[in-house]
Amino acid sequence: MRARVTIVDVAQRAGVSISSASAALNDNPGVSDSTRARVRDAADQLGYVPSLRGRSLSSRRAFAVGLVVQRQTDVLESDPFFGALIGGIESVLADRGYALVLHMVERADAARDRYEQLAAGRRVDGVFLDELQNDDPRIAQMQRLELPAVAINPGPDFPLPAVRQHADEAIHDLIARFVAEGHRAIAHVSGAAGFVHTEQRISAWRSACAELGIDEGVLLAGDFTYDGGRAAAEQLLASGELPTAIFCANDLTAVGLMIRLQEAGLSIPGDVAIAGFDGIALGRYVRPQLTTILSAPREVGSAAATMLLDIVDRRAVEDIDVAPATLETRESTGSRTVRPRTGV
Amino acid sequence: MRARVTIVDVAQRAGVSISSASAALNDNPGVSDSTRARVRDAADQLGYVPSLRGRSLSSRRAFAVGLVVQRQTDVLESDPFFGALIGGIESVLADRGYALVLHMVERADAARDRYEQLAAGRRVDGVFLDELQNDDPRIAQMQRLELPAVAINPGPDFPLPAVRQHADEAIHDLIARFVAEGHRAIAHVSGAAGFVHTEQRISAWRSACAELGIDEGVLLAGDFTYDGGRAAAEQLLASGELPTAIFCANDLTAVGLMIRLQEAGLSIPGDVAIAGFDGIALGRYVRPQLTTILSAPREVGSAAATMLLDIVDRRAVEDIDVAPATLETRESTGSRTVRPRTGV
DNA sequence: TTGAAAGCGCTACCAT
DNA sequence: ATGGTAGCGCTTTCAA
């Protein structure tokens, strides 16, 4: 490695002291304009870029924040939500000279260890908390570690700073739409047990049904996966009681459910209308195209990143609500033309 | 923040000097067993975790490596390949106490800037080079920056260390299979222009056709996206000359192509047999399920990470070939039963 | 406004 | 085998 340009070189070249150079470069007050200009010129000419290592040690900052993605290791592959979230986060971090440290773990205890290490090693200045569970142990952990954290879509009255995208209204719109089309009971395939967003979607579905004065349909336990959707379909098929409309906790589940029902010879939406949640690209690739609740993970990500950096900078922050999710009606709901079954 | 436990505290508690404590903790030679044990005990009792900041500055290491993903910001969303790659990388890094710094940029020049910053700020000890282009400027850049780098699937005779997964044989198998089923010309929808893997797939397709003694079918320019696949389908439809078999540069393209052809009333694989490349989950969700070349991004990722850390540790390395990609025959090829067209 | 100097926490060299 | 000490590159008092 070539000897790198340090602040000493810059100071020398500008003919000032190291401390003045530092102050000038960091836009700190107490430096004359001429000195500042001279220092900047020197830095430019030398191609000076401050070493994060030195900066980190002396300023007690890592200039990085962490995201621990906890799920099967193929999440990023099967669930596109994270990609968009990360993209949103990254767009903000980049502008502020921060980096994203990404960890992927399979189990919750491993995730907790990672947070512990990130904090203990002072590798990051803060973290994002995603996929919150009920009574999530990470809350206490963050408080104990005194590690700045921003939660993504936690429940109401969450004790840590949070970014939320509300979807209750969109879910209400969906159920209302189902009702308008003549459905008298709307089933729901839930997400994995224990997650806050699983319960939020269940209760939004419940209240909407109640408000609209229809039966709350059957509730099936899913797990946010394609196979979970298929399993739910099997269950419905075996029960002999097929709902006319089904709202799934996410798109992947809805697609699994839909395909399994189609394999059983059912027509979508003729025999059964189906809707998902998320708005992932896959929903447009299947036939019929999937009606869904459009979430905006990119916006959530950038809001969360902005908030986290503000906290790190010790600026006051308030919880952020990004624009609510919206109903995107596509082909898997809507036409109530009952077509004849096309085969087993 | 509570005052953190430093190596000074550990040394004090163990009743040894700081340098001995450091040596003991880092498994350096020149420390008696008893001292080592005493230091370790002290560290455990105090819950000591070395500060990465101090360590980084003095040891001139970042204990982090970088990955710059360059594509539309929704890549991670639309192209699941990266998720698995990152998972593979992460699994190795975690074991060695390294972190992954992830950057996402939209344009090539922005990517180059990021590498420049990562290097100049000494934020990482090395980087992964992905999605190589012909005469990729990053080669010269890495050499100039003297930044350790491992390339993922570059061409042959690449000047930097590399990890490769060969697919020529699998592509040959695919074409052979097409031929065995009676196809006499195999079209190809390529990837985006300028990429090494785009050309590799084109030439593998060419040689396979030549070796098998059949016509090389029409070559259409794609771009690795779903919409690119649809566009290719439009082109074929408009040309009036529909191939009986089409090999696409990736699964997303194949799915776009397939769905557009189905919309035109064609039966897959009855009228047209289609195959993709990658083995993403989406291929199993569409109907018919997509025949594909199964790649193993996770394995590629972990091999690349192992290699990069070895380089960082100044160990000698040789290029790695992970197990070659394989043909996964599913429903979109195979049955040569020509069914009557069912529509336009 | 400027500069000297004291760390930040650790590694590594060099005596002992 | 052990311990003192000089940095690593930067920020941040505190004097001048």
> Which residues on chain A are in Cβ contact (under 8 Å) with B83?
74-78, 82-83
**Separation CA A223–CA B209 (nearest Å):** 45
Instruction: Kindly report, residue by residue over B186-211, the tens digit of the pLDDT.
Output: 999 999 999 999 999 999 999 999 99
Structural contact between residues B93 and B305, judged by C-beta atoms closer than 8 angstroms: yes
How much is the pTM? 0.92
Instruction: Kindly report, residue by residue over B28-45, the tens digit of the pLDDT.
Output: 988 899 999 999 999 999
**Chain D bases having any atom below 7 Å from a protein CB:** 1-5, 7-13
**Using the beta-carbon criterion (under 8 Å), do A104 and B86 form an inter-chain contact?**
yes
Question: What is the three-class DSSP state of A70?
Answer: strand
Q: List CB contacts of B70: < 8 A, sequence separation 6 or more.
A: B104, B105, B106, B107, B108, B110, B111, B130, B131
Q: List CB contacts of A330: < 8 A, sequence separation 6 or more.
A: A283, A284, A288, A289, A290, A291, A292
**Separation CA B14–CA B18 (nearest Å):** 10
Strand D close to B53 by CB, under 7 A: no
Strand D close to B16 by CB, under 7 A: yes
| Rounded CA–C1' distance between A56 and D3, in angstroms | 28
**Using the beta-carbon criterion (under 8 Å), do B121 and A282 form an inter-chain contact?**
no
Structural contact between residues A137 and A112, judged by C-beta atoms closer than 8 angstroms: yes
pLDDT at A2: 56
In this complex, the nucleotide whose C1' atom is nearest to the CA atom of residue A55 is: D10
Question: What is the three-class DSSP state of A37?
Answer: helix
Question: What is the three-class DSSP state of B296?
Answer: coil
Question: What is the three-class DSSP state of B322?
Answer: strand
Q: List CB contacts of A145: < 8 A, sequence separation 6 or more.
A: A115, A116, A119
**Mean pLDDT value across residues B80-94:** 86
Q: Strands A127-129, A64-70: parallel, antiparallel or unpaired by DSSP?
A: parallel
Phi-psi region of B327 (alpha: psi -120 to 50; beta: other; left: phi over 0): beta
Q: Residue A340 is which amino acid?
A: P
pLDDT at B338: 39
In this complex, the nucleotide whose C1' atom is nearest to the CA atom of residue B30 is: D1
Structural contact between residues B249 and B230, judged by C-beta atoms closer than 8 angstroms: no
Instruction: Kindly report, residue by residue over B147-170, the tens digit of the pLDDT.
Output: 999 999 999 999 999 999 999 999
**Count of CA atoms in the C-beta half-sphere (13 A) of A255:** 28
Residue of A nearest to B63 (CA): A123
In this complex, the nucleotide whose C1' atom is nearest to the CA atom of residue A4 is: D9
Instruction: Point out the least confidently predicted range of A329-343, B115-129, B320-334.
Output: A329-343
pLDDT at A332: 97
Please give the span between the terminal C-alpha atoms of chain A, in angstroms, as a whole number: 69
**Separation CA B286–CA B258 (nearest Å):** 9
Token readout for B207 is 């040689």
The partner residue sitting opposite A90, judged by closest CB among B103, B282, B287, is B103
Residue B56 has pLDDT above 80, yes or no: yes
- How many residues does the structure list for chain A? 344
Residue B340 has pLDDT above 60, yes or no: no
Residue B266 has pLDDT above 70, yes or no: yes
pLDDT at B343: 36
C-alpha triplet A53, A58, A62: angle, nearest 5°: 50
> Which residues on chain B are in Cβ contact (under 8 Å) with A127?
none
Give the Cβ contact number of residue A239 at 10 Å: 11
Percent of chain A with pLDDT over 70: 94
Query: Which residue is nearest nucleotide D7, judged by alpha carbon to C1' distance?
Result: B58
pLDDT at A296: 94
**Separation CA A72–CA A219 (nearest Å):** 25
pLDDT at B335: 62
Nearest-Cα distance to chain A for B39, in Å, is 19
The continuous run of DSSP H or E covering B164 comes out as strand B162-165
**Separation CA B255–CA B288 (nearest Å):** 10
Query: What 8-state DSSP symbol labels residue B147?
Result: -
Task: Give residues 134 to 173 of B whose Cβ lies within 8 Å of A.
Answer: 146
**Separation CA A60–CA A147 (nearest Å):** 13
**Predicted confidence band of residue B105 (pLDDT cuts 50, 70, 90):** confident
Q: Which long-range contacts (CB under 8 A, 24 or more apart) does A230-239 make?
A: A230/A256, A230/A257, A230/A259, A230/A260, A231/A256, A232/A189, A232/A256, A232/A257, A233/A257, A233/A258, A233/A260, A233/A261, A233/A264, A234/A260, A236/A187, A236/A261, A237/A261, A237/A264
| Contact with chain B for residue A106, Cβ under 8 A | no
| Contact with chain A for residue B30, Cβ under 8 A | no
Residue B176 has pLDDT above 50, yes or no: yes
| Contact with chain B for residue A314, Cβ under 8 A | no
DSSP letters spanning B59-118:
HT--SEEEEEEES-TTHHHH-THHHHHHHHHHHHHHHTT-EEEEEEESSHHHHHHHHHHH
pLDDT at A218: 96
Write the CA distances from B311 to A52, B127, B285, B299, integer angstroms: 22, 11, 40, 18
In this complex, the nucleotide whose C1' atom is nearest to the CA atom of residue A30 is: C1
| Contact with chain B for residue A123, Cβ under 8 A | yes
Query: What 8-state DSSP symbol labels residue B340?
Result: P
Token readout for A46 is 């030398």
| Rounded CA–C1' distance between A34 and C2, in angstroms | 13
> Which residues make up the interface with nucleic strand C when CB must lie under 7 A?
A 15-20, 23, 29-32, 34-35, 57-58, 60; B 4, 6-8, 18-19, 22-23, 25-26, 28, 48, 50-51, 53-55, 57-59
**Using the beta-carbon criterion (under 8 Å), do B76 and A57 form an inter-chain contact?**
no
Percent of chain B with pLDDT over 90: 83
Question: What mean pLDDT value characterizes chain B?
Answer: 91
pLDDT tens digits for chain A (344 residues)? 456 899 999 999 999 999 999 999 999 988 899 999 999 999 999 999 999 999 999 999 999 999 998 876 554 555 667 778 888 999 999 999 999 999 988 888 889 989 998 999 999 999 999 999 999 999 999 999 999 999 999 999 999 999 999 999 999 999 999 999 999 999 999 999 999 999 999 999 999 999 999 988 999 999 999 999 999 999 999 999 999 999 999 999 999 999 999 999 999 999 999 999 999 888 998 889 999 999 999 999 999 999 999 999 999 899 999 999 999 999 999 865 433 334 33
Residue B341 has pLDDT above 80, yes or no: no
Beta strands in chain A, from DSSP E residues, in sequence order: 64-70, 99-105, 127-129, 149-152, 162-165, 185-189, 215-220, 245-248, 273-275, 292-294, 320-322, 326-328
| Contact with chain B for residue A262, Cβ under 8 A | yes
**Using the beta-carbon criterion (under 8 Å), do A102 and B122 form an inter-chain contact?**
no
Nearest C-alpha neighbor of B282 from the set A72, A254, A255: A255
**Separation CA A105–CA B176 (nearest Å):** 40
The partner residue sitting opposite A123, judged by closest CB among B1, B52, B87, is B52
Nearest-Cα distance to chain B for A202, in Å, is 26
Question: What is the three-class DSSP state of B215?
Answer: strand
C-alpha triplet B238, B242, B244: angle, nearest 5°: 160
**Mean pLDDT value across residues B312-324:** 95
C-alpha triplet B122, B123, B126: angle, nearest 5°: 85
Query: What 8-state DSSP symbol labels residue A69?
Result: E
